[in-house]
């Protein structure tokens, strides 16, 4: 039996897609600034516009992290725990075997990627701060800000590439709307129905979340 459950709120989905658009745009305009000199000023102008969009989306996402910390959007759901260790191991086996091992179930966030999202938010915040400091004329602050900004951008680019690759792999293997969930907010869960000779019992959504790695 399939159960369709609302996981991602409108504000979280808005933050996700604005962040996706702005980060991809920042990577593209940043590349043009470095490699196409004739487009430097135009790329720089759009770079700053996209930076404000990123700051806006980060503000929404960081607010949701702390406004309700134990919700699907909260920071508590992104921290690894003892109950998430089996799911982390299963995800590692899934990736290393190129999808030949079973895909584990989870409630909201992929147990392996969840703590990496916290790292991503930190890196994006670091990019915003270093970028605006560079724009204000500060080239060195403990470290070379140009080098820091460039290196973090490379890390973020690789994160996006691997994130898209793994989400597509999970969608093909599991077929449970992980991608479309970020559009309409609903994830699909497989609920095993009791055998005819077993006593019927009710299962709460909280118990589903508790017994699924997240």
Pure H helices in 68-192: 85-96, 114-135, 145-174, 181-184
Q: Given the DSSP bridges, would you call strands 143-144 and 186-190 parallel, antiparallel or unpaired? A: unpaired
Q: Would you say residue 127 has pLDDT above 50?
A: yes
Largest distance between two CA atoms of the chain: 75
Q: Would you say residue 195 has pLDDT above 60?
A: no
- Cα separation, 117 vs 86, whole angstroms: 19
Domain count, the chain: 1
Residue from 205, 207, 214 nearest 4 by CA: 205
Give the mean model confidence (pLDDT) for residues 2-11. 88
pLDDT at 19: 97
pLDDT, tens only, 32-59: 998 998 999 999 999 999 999 999 999 9
Q: Which segment, 114-118, 168-172, 200-204, is predicted with the most confidence on average?
A: 114-118
Secondary structure (DSSP) of 147-165: HHHHHHHHHHHHHHHHHHH
Dihedral angle sign, alpha carbons of residues 92, 85, 170, 27:
negative
Task: Return the minimum-mean-pLDDT range out of 6-15, 48-57, 104-113.
Answer: 104-113
- Cα separation, 112 vs 95, whole angstroms: 11
- Cα separation, 66 vs 144, whole angstroms: 32
pLDDT at 206: 53
pTM (two decimals):
0.83
Instruction: Quote the domain boundaries for residue 108.
Output: 2-211
Averaged pLDDT score across all residues of the chain: 86
- Cα separation, 32 vs 26, whole angstroms: 10
| 52 and 21 Cβ atoms separated by less than 8 Å | no
Q: Which residues pair with 6 in a beta bridge?
A: 186
Q: Given the DSSP bridges, would you call strands 2-6 and 186-190 parallel, antiparallel or unpaired? A: antiparallel
123: pLDDT confidence band, cut at 50, 70 and 90?
very high
| 21 and 28 Cβ atoms separated by less than 8 Å | no
CATH code of the domain containing 144: 1.20.950.20
pLDDT at 3: 82
Give the mean model confidence (pLDDT) for residues 167-183. 83
Percent over 90 (pLDDT), the chain: 58
pLDDT at 203: 47
């Amino acid at each position: 039996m399939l159960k369709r459950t609302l996981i991602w709120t409108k504000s979280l989905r808005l933050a996700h897609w604005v962040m996706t658009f702005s980060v991809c745009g920042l990577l593209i305009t940043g590349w043009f600034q470095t490699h196409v000199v004739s487009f430097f000023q135009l790329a720089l102008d759009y770079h700053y516009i996209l930076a404000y969009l990123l700051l806006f989306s980060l503000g929404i996402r960081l607010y949701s992290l702390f406004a309700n910390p134990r919700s699907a959007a909260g920071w508590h759901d992104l921290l690894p725990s003892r109950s998430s260790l089996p799911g982390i191991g299963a995800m590692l086996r899934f990736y290393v075997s190129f999808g030949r091992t079973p895909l584990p179930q989870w409630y909201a966030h992929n147990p392996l990627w969840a703590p990496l999202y916290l790292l991503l938010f930190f890196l994006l915040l670091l990019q915003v701060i270093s970028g605006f400091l560079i724009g204000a004329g500060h080239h060195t602050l403990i470290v070379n800000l140009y080098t820091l900004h460039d290196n973090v951008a490379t890390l973020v680019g690789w994160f996006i590439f691997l994130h898209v690759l793994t989400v597509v792999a999970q969608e093909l293997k599991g077929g449970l709307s992980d991608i479309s969930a970020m559009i309409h907010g609903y994830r699909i869960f497989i609920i095993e129905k009791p055998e005819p000779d077993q006593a019927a019992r009710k299962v709460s959504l909280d118990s589903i979340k508790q017994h699924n790695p997240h």
